[in-house]
Amino acid sequence: MLVAAAFDFSDFMQQVVSGLASGGIYALLALALVIIHRSTGVINFAQGEMATLSAYIAWTLIVNHGWSYWPAFVVTLALSFAGGIGIHRAVIRPVERGSVLRIVIVTIGLLVAINGFVIWKWGGEPQQLQGPFGTKTYDLGGVVVAAHDIGTIAVALGIVGLLWLFFRFTKVGLALRAAAVNPEEARLVGVRVTWMLALGWGLAATLGAVAGMLTAPTVGLDPQMMQAVLIYAFAAAVLGGIDSPIGAVVGGLLLGVLLNMLSYLSQYGAFDWFTEELRLPAALLIILAVLLVRPTGIFGRPEVKRV
Amino acid sequence: MTPRTQRLIGFVAFAAFVVFVAVLPAFVSDFKARDYSYVGIYLIALLGLNILTGYTGQISLGHGAFMAIGGYTTAILMAGNEEFGGPISGGMKDVWTLPIAGLVAGLVGLAFGIPALRLSGLYLALATFAIAVAMPSTVKRFEEFTGGGSGIQLFGTPELTGSISNVEILGVSLTPNDWMYYLAWSIALVAFAVAWLILRGRTGRAFRAVRDSETAAVSSGVSLARYKTLAFGISAAYAGVAGGLFAIASAFVNPDAFPIALSIYLLVGIVVGGLGGLSGLVFGAIFIFYLPLWAQGQDLGSLLPDRIIVETQKPGGAAIVYGVILILLMFVIPNGVGGLFRRVGQLISNRRYSRPK
């Protein structure tokens, strides 16, 4: 049963902060999934592997070529952006017409191929990628928080903010939204829709790269690193409403905190059947419960179709 | 081609295929027969998934979990779970567990189909994916029922037909591998015929109506609730039978026998075989069973330079080959092998009927 006496507020807050940090990473990857879903209409199964590849590129620049963190960060983002556009031009565009499942299978093919490539190039053993924020901890009114967690939250929210400004206030951002909402009419008013879709893939790859570089320092850089994160991001995106960028961010943060709360409460014996192994299934179950009440996610709007 | 000749050609092709399946073991090594039985098992699962996804338009990323339910039903009915502290004593002969495996998985599928009614598209995909993700840890959690992570061993148990000695059936003596082959394929062929019967009539028409437009289907009096849950139930029952056979063929079940990747590869199988078609699925099954093996580089053939073959034999190389082939295949045959069949059929009939008199 619940042991209320053992409840410790600062411990609780610590869990919330670290939940927000992992939630920030889920939010970034979920946002990438939402951007691609809005433009291409599919879930990009390769999103996690693309992020892993980016993290390995950053690792190579830092460890093998002796770069310092931030230049490597920027160059990796640029390379990932170009890579995302390249993937769209090379393999997605040729299959864009026709069944959606065909694109899904192509992204599964990409997942397998990129994962194979990473193992082939860098081997399967885990590597160390140092984070830029060190291992310091800060004491904020009795709540001990790790610098890495604060940094992760700041970077995630910063990127989300920049992206919002881009979509809201630039002409290209407007064109991107137009191409996603109504490709035919966007084309009529002079938007180069194909390039906008490619740009969407580039942005998604960039977001993934940030998520990958933020994940590597805590869980260790290995070829399977982003697979669980992708499942969480998928869940977060669906929870928020698959077409809603705000939903993806809120869903990601909520999920991060929720997962940490589940393990936190179980240590107080609240759910003694709850083991670490059931973390993912339990999270998915809660999301399903939410979906049954709101079938298009928290921020999603039901689609109205003309027959 | 009139529909009647089309159907006639279909019957002849099916009969020819049955004969082919029946005589094949005589021409290949005993060891190969066991491999081919896995192709038959995958075919059953693909038939089921295609009824749900290809014909009714509901994406499932969790069919591996329904296979797991079937596999565990079979294993528990055969070996029992008393040794782990469960209530079932087992002792049922392997073949008789298969209908029950199908029934249990089918009922779970029906039960899952009801909440799934509220979801569509990617939301449904996530919901089904959730069962696939939850399955291994749930199995491990209820250890006293399922044997936990180490699973249930069936090899050498008296319930397993032909685990060591030959099998006498209808006066013929079959090696264990041949027995497995004939068991899997006779069920697969029956499953094929049943799927064809379901899909050709009123039910199949309702499924396709739901797939093409839910609103239009409802307006013409098709009950979405009934047909969507029915599709889920039938499809899960197919997966359950396939899972039961899988357990018998490998004489073993554990949570890792039904990984998340299995659910995804089943989806790959129906797209490669051709959505909304049945005969192409044979190729889908061959594809998902053989391509991973082929991509290991052992049979990569002399088409490629030695240097590339050496590189693909490094860890990860096989996966690169697999992924690239999957992508190329989607470029070359957009509608799967089934689509290719239809295209060829059209070309032939166009030629025939457009010839000047």
Domains, chain A, in order of start with CATH, read 9-293 (1.10.3470)
Q: What is the pLDDT of residue A199?
A: 92
Q: CA A29 to CA A164: how far, in whole Å? A: 15
Cβ–Cβ under 8 Å, residues B144 and B81: yes
A287: its two tokens: 């999301």
Q: Which residues of B touch A307 (CB under 8 A)?
A: 213, 215-216, 219
| pLDDT reading at A214 higher than 70 | yes
Dihedrals phi, psi of A262, to nearest 5 degrees: -60, -45
Phi, psi of A138 (to 5 degrees): -120, 150
Please, what is the average pLDDT of chain B? 83
Give the minimum alpha-carbon distance from A144 to chain B in angstroms, rounded to a whole number.
33
Give A107-148 pLDDT, tens digit per residue.
989 998 999 899 988 888 888 888 888 778 887 777 788 888
For residue B318, the chain A residues in CB contact (below 8 A) are 116
- The structure tokens listed for B260 are 């998340």
* Chain segment B278-337, per-residue pLDDT in tens: 888 999 999 988 887 776 655 555 566 666 666 667 777 888 888 888 898 888 888 888
CA atoms of A133 and A56, how far apart (whole Å): 19
Coil, helix or strand for B153?
Answer: strand
Q: How far apart are CA B93 and CA B183, in angstroms?
A: 14
> Which residues does chain B have within 8 Å of residue A112's beta carbon, measured at their own beta carbons?
319, 322-323, 326
Closest to A250 (Cα-Cα) out of A265, A238, A261, A264: A238
SS3 A212: helix
Cα(B129)–Cα(B61) distance, integer angstroms:
5
Selection from A1-15, A269-283, B251-265 with the highest mean pLDDT: B251-265
B247/B169: higher pLDDT: B247
- Residue with tokens 């049963």, as numbered in its chain: A1
pLDDT in tens, B134-187: 888 888 878 777 877 777 887 777 777 766 666 667 767 777 888 889 899 999
From chain A, the residues in CB contact with B322 under 8 A are 109, 112-113, 116
Q: Which of B126, B320, B326 sits opposite A105 (nearest CB)?
A: B326
pLDDT for B258 equals 87
Two tokens at B184? 């899997």
pLDDT recorded at residue B305 = 64
Percent of chain B exceeding pLDDT 70 equals: 89
Place of tokens 């399922």: B146
How many CB atoms are located within 10 Å of the residue B186 CB?
A: 14
Using pLDDT thresholds of 50, 70 and 90, give the confidence band for residue A32: very high
* B65-99 pLDDT tens trace: 999 999 999 988 887 776 776 677 777 778 888 99
Mean pLDDT in residue range A144-167: 89
Nearest by CB to residue A110, choosing from B127, B264, B323, is B323
Q: Chain B partners of A275 at a C-beta cutoff of 8 Å?
A: 141
Q: Indicate the pLDDT class of residue A220, thresholds 50, 70 and 90.
A: confident
Is A123 in contact with A210 (CB distance < 8 Å)? no
Q: Cβ contact (<8 Å) for B334 and A280?
A: no
Task: Inspect the interface and report whether the beta carbons of B323 and A109 lie closer than 8 Å.
Answer: yes
**Inter-chain residue contact A284 with B311, CB threshold 8 Å:** no
The closest CB to that of A296, out of B123, B325, B326, belongs to: B123
- A106, A288, A297: residue with CB nearest B330: A106
Whether residue A101 and residue B53 make contact (CB cut-off 8 A), yes or no, is: yes
